[in-house]
Amino acid sequence: MSRRPFTPKVITANHLISGDVIYWSADSCWVSAHADAALFTEQDAADAQFAIANAQQQIAVGVMLADAVMGDNGPEPVHFREEFRATGPSNYFHGKQAEIASAGA
Amino acid sequence: MYHYNDFDRAFLNERNAQFRAQVERRVAGNLTEDEFKPLRLMNGLYLQLHAYMLRVAIPYGTLSGAQMRRLGDVAAKYDKGYGHFTTRQNIQYNWPTLSDVPDILDSLGEVGLHAIQTSGNTIRNVTADHFAGAAKDEIEDPRPVAELLRQWSTDHPEFQFLPRKFKIAITGSPNDRAVTKAHDIGLRMVRNEAGEPGFEVIVGGGLGRTPMVGKVLRAFLPKADLLPYCEAVVSVWNTLGRRDNKYKARIKITVHENGIEKISELVEERFNTLRPQFSGVDQELLADIEAHFQPPVWEASDTGVFDAAYATDPVFRSWVDTNITDHKRDDHAIVSVSLKAHGDTPGDATTEQMHLLADIARDHAYDELRISHEQNVILPHVKKSDLPAIFEQLKTAGLGTANIGLASDIIACPGMDYCALATARSIPVAQQIANRVQELGVEHDIGALKIKISGCINACGHHHVGHIGILGLDRAGVENYQITLGGDGTETAAVGERAGPGFAYDAIVPAIERLVLGYLDLRTDPSETFLATYRRLGAAPFKALLYPEDAKHAA
Ligand code: SF4
C-alpha cells in the first residue's frame, strides 16, 4: 500500500466548554483563529504535535488534522467544510466571523 | 394535553441531576470524551461544527403556551435568541455551552420538556399529525396513543440498545400528514367494515441512504392491540436486525432482506405470545391518558367578522386561502403559521416570535400549539372570528407569510452551516429559492409544490419525498446538488427519482427556476399540480427543462 504524499495540515478541535472551533498554535496552545494555527508540512511533526494536542482532553474535543495552505495572513483552509468552521454559518453573522469582527472593533 | 404526573417529574429530575453530575465529572477530568459522549447524546447534546447543539423533544409536536414561552426564554438566556424547529418535531438550540446545559434541562423540565431519546439507538420521539385533535378528516385524536407509545418506549429495558434508532409516526386521519410511510413503524388510523377505529400498520419505511416506502404489515389492527403488536415488531427486529453493519441495521433492510411475509409471520407469532402478558394494564393507562387529551370546551362563535374581513381585505384573504385548514368545527379554523418568511432560515423562530405565539395560544387558541414536520407552527383551534386580529398580530412579528404548501414553504435541514455530518449547505439554497420565487411573483400561480432539501444522504430534509428534492453532496471538495423528482410523503407515498447529474452551488437555483417555470407550460390547467403533471408526463419533459443542452443534442 503506497502512502499518499503528505499535504500541509493544521490541528483543530472544538473547545470542551464553549464548543468553539479551536486551532493548535506553534506555541503548543489552543487559539481561536485559523490564521494563528501552526501549519505542519511534515508528517512526523504533525503526528508528534497531534499526540500532545490530543492529550488535552480537558480543553479539546474531537482533535483532528485538517488540510490547509499558507496564505498572506497565515494558514488558510483547503476544504469548504473547514472554511465554514473557520468562519461560522452563512445564514447568520454568528460564530467566528462575529468574534473576529468584535475583536477588531 | 398530557400533564406530567409525579412519577414523570421525579424521573426527569433524577435524569437531569445525573447528567449534571456527569457534566461536572467531564469538566473535572474524571470522564474522558469517549466515556462522556454516549451520555451526552442520551441527553440530546451533540457537538456540531461551530458549537454544541441541544435537541429538545416536542412529543407528537404538541406544546402549551407556557412551554412555547419557555422555549423562547431558553433561546434568549442560553442561546443567540432563536431556536430551530426540525422535521422530527424537535427544537434545536445551536449555541449552548456545555456548562449551561444542565441549567437548560432543569429549566425545560419545569415545564415538562426534555431531551431524552432524541438520540442514540432507541425508540425516538414519536411524531404525529400536526393537525391531531383538530382536523376535520380525523377519525380520532392519535396523540393518546402516541403518548402511550412514548411511555412504553421511554427507558424500556429491552429497547435501550437496539440495532439502530427506531422511529414511529402516527396519524388519526386517512389523509397522511405525518409521513407514516417513511418511518420504521407508521400507524394510520382507518375504520374496519364494522366502522370501528383501528390502525393500518406500516413497517420498514425510511429515507436516508436506502430510501424505502413502508409496506403494510397489518391492514387493520384493533386499537387495543397496538402496544403488544408494536412490541412484537420491535422485538422481531431486535433479534433479526443486522448489528454487523450500521447501514443495514434499520428495519427497512430487515424487511427488505427477509420479505414482508416472513416478518409478518414472525410478528404475528411473537404478538400471540406477548398479547396475553399485557393483561389490559395498557388499556387502563390509555384510558387515563385519553382523559388528558379531552378537547377544550369549545366557545361557539359567530363568523361575521371573519366573513367581512375575508370579503374586503385581499391580503387577509390570501393568507386565509393558503394558511388556514378546515377545523372539525365550522366556526373554528386551524392556523398554520409559516416559519418560512422569504429569505429567512426555514424553521427558525426568534424569542420574540415564540413569545408572541405563546401569547396568541393563551389568549385565542385554548393554549395549544403544534410543531409540524414541515417546520411550521400550528394553532390548532382558533375561532374564525379571531382570525383577523391574530393575522394582524402575526404580521407584527414577521409571521404573516402566506405560503403554506407553496414553493417557498421549503423544508431544509441545517446542512453544512451547522451539522457535523453534512456534505453541503441546505439553508442558503432554500433562502435563495424562496427569494427567487418571490421576485418572480409566481408562487401562487404555481400552487401546491413541496421542495425539500437535505445537506447529506441522511435525508433529515426528507428530500426523497419532495415533489422536488435537493440533496447536497461533496463532489471532489465542491458543493454539488442532486435533484430528485416526483417524491411524495402522503398516503400516496413515492420516492423521488434522480433527474440526472448534479448542479454546482451557483447553478442549483437557476435549475429549480427552469423547472417550476417550465411546469407552468406543461400543466393542462392551473388545477393540475406539479406532482400530478409529473405523474402524467413522466420525467422526460422535466429533464429537458433541467438539462436544455442535452435536449438540444438529442433533437
Ligand atoms: S440531512 Fe445530513 S446535513 Fe442535514 S441535518 Fe441530517 S445529517 Fe445533517
Please, which residues bridge with residue B189 across strands?
B199
Q: Is A98 on the interface with B (CB under 8 A)?
A: no
B544 and B424, same structural domain?
A: yes
Q: Does the residue B317 lie in any domain?
A: yes
B181 and B99, same structural domain?
A: no
Q: Mark which of B274, B293, B312 sits at the end of a domain.
A: B293
Total Cβ atoms within 10 A of residue B315: 12
Mean pLDDT of chain B: 93
> Tell me: the pLDDT tens digits for B223-256?
999 999 999 999 999 888 878 888 888 899 999 9
Q: Mark which of B293, B323, B342 sits at the end of a domain.
A: B293
Atom of ligand 1 nearest to the CA of B415: 3
Residue type, B105: L
Give whole-number Cα distances, B555 to B541, B550, B551, in Å: 13, 9, 6
CB-CB neighbors (< 8 A) of A32 in chain B? none
Question: What residues contact residue B319 under an 8 Å CB cut-off, 6+ apart?
Answer: B391, B400, B402
Q: How confident is the model at residue B124 (pLDDT cuts 50, 70, 90)?
A: confident
Give whole-number Cα distances, B4 to A63, B10, B21, B212, B397, in Å: 41, 10, 24, 36, 32
Looking at the complex, report in whole angstroms how far the Cα of residue B250 sits from the nearest Cα belonging to chain A: 27
DSSP state of B182: G
Q: How far is the CA of B273 from the centre of ligand 1 (A)?
A: 39
Q: Does the residue A1 lie in any domain?
A: no
Q: How far is the CA of B422 from the centre of ligand 1 (A)?
A: 5
B353 and B261, same structural domain?
A: no
Where do we find the cell 404475528? Answer: B268
CATH number at residue B255: 3.30.413.10
> Tell me: the pLDDT tens digits for B259-317?
999 999 999 999 999 999 887 788 888 999 999 899 999 999 999 999 999 999 999 99
Q: What is the spatial distance between Cα B493 and Cα B215, in angstroms, rounded to a whole number?
A: 11
N- to C-terminal Cα separation, chain B = 61
Q: Does the residue A27 lie in any domain?
A: yes
Arithmetic mean of pLDDT, B136-140: 94
B307 and B281, same structural domain?
A: no
Ranges under pLDDT 70 in chain A: 1-3, 104-105
Complete DSSP assignment for B508-536: HHHHHHHHHHHHHHHSSSTTS-HHHHHHH
Handedness of CA B498, B88, B338, B178 (dihedral sign): positive
Domain range for A47 is: 9-104
Counting ligand 1 atoms within 8 A of each CB, the residue from B454, B457, B465 with the most, and so the one to mutate, is: B454
Domain range for B189 is: 134-293
8 A C-beta contact, residue B413 and residue B426: yes
b/e string for B277-302 if b means 16 or more Cβ within 10 A? Answer: ebeeebbebbeebbeebeeeeeeebe
Q: Does the residue B520 lie in any domain?
A: yes
Q: Does the residue A77 lie in any domain?
A: yes
CB contact under 8 A, B479 and A20: no
> For residue A1, what pLDDT is reported?
47
Q: Is the CB of B207 under 6 A from ligand 1?
A: no
B392 and B430, same structural domain?
A: no
- Is the pLDDT reported for residue B155 higher than 70? no
CA nearest B47 in A: which residue? A19
Arithmetic mean of pLDDT, B418-422: 97
Q: Is A2 on the interface with B (CB under 8 A)?
A: no
What's the CA dihedral at B473, B125, B133, B226 to 10 degrees?
A: 120
CATH number at residue B10: 3.90.480.20
Q: Whose CA is nearest to atom 2 of ligand 1?
A: B456
Q: Does the residue B274 lie in any domain?
A: yes
CB contact under 8 A, A88 and B26: no
> Tell me: the pLDDT tens digits for B442-472?
999 999 999 999 999 999 999 999 999 999 9
Q: Does the residue B80 lie in any domain?
A: yes
Q: Is the CB of B419 under 6 A from ligand 1?
A: yes
CA nearest A15 in B: which residue? B51
- C-alpha cell of B255? 424487511
Alpha helix stretches (DSSP H) within B224-373:
226-240, 251-258, 260-278, 281-292, 304-312, 314-323, 351-364
Q: Does the residue B406 lie in any domain?
A: no
Q: Does the residue B404 lie in any domain?
A: no
Total Cβ atoms within 10 A of residue A52: 12
Q: Mark which of B293, B314, B338 sits at the end of a domain.
A: B293
Looking at the complex, report in whole angstroms how far the Cα of residue A15 sits from the nearest Cα belonging to chain B: 8
Alpha helix stretches (DSSP H) within B377-473:
387-396, 427-440, 443-446
Q: Does the residue A2 lie in any domain?
A: no
Give whole-number Cα distances, B176 to A11, B131, B493, in Å: 48, 11, 9
Task: Please state the separation of Cα B136 from the chain's center in Å.
Answer: 21
Q: Does the residue B476 lie in any domain?
A: yes
B35 and B96, same structural domain?
A: yes
- Is the pLDDT reported for residue B502 higher than 80? yes
CB-CB neighbors (< 8 A) of A89 in chain B? 50, 94, 417-418, 427
CB contact under 8 A, B427 and A57: no
Where do we find the cell 472544538? Answer: A14
Total Cβ atoms within 10 A of residue B453: 29
Arithmetic mean of pLDDT, B8-27: 92
Domain count, chain A: 1
Q: How confident is the model at residue B554 (pLDDT cuts 50, 70, 90)?
A: low
Q: Does the residue B119 lie in any domain?
A: no
Arithmetic mean of pLDDT, B54-59: 92
- Is the pLDDT reported for residue B551 higher than 80? no
B379 and B517, same structural domain?
A: no
Q: What is the complex's ipTM, to 2 decimals?
A: 0.94
Overall residue count recorded for chain B in this entry:
555
- Is the pLDDT reported for residue B394 higher than 50? yes
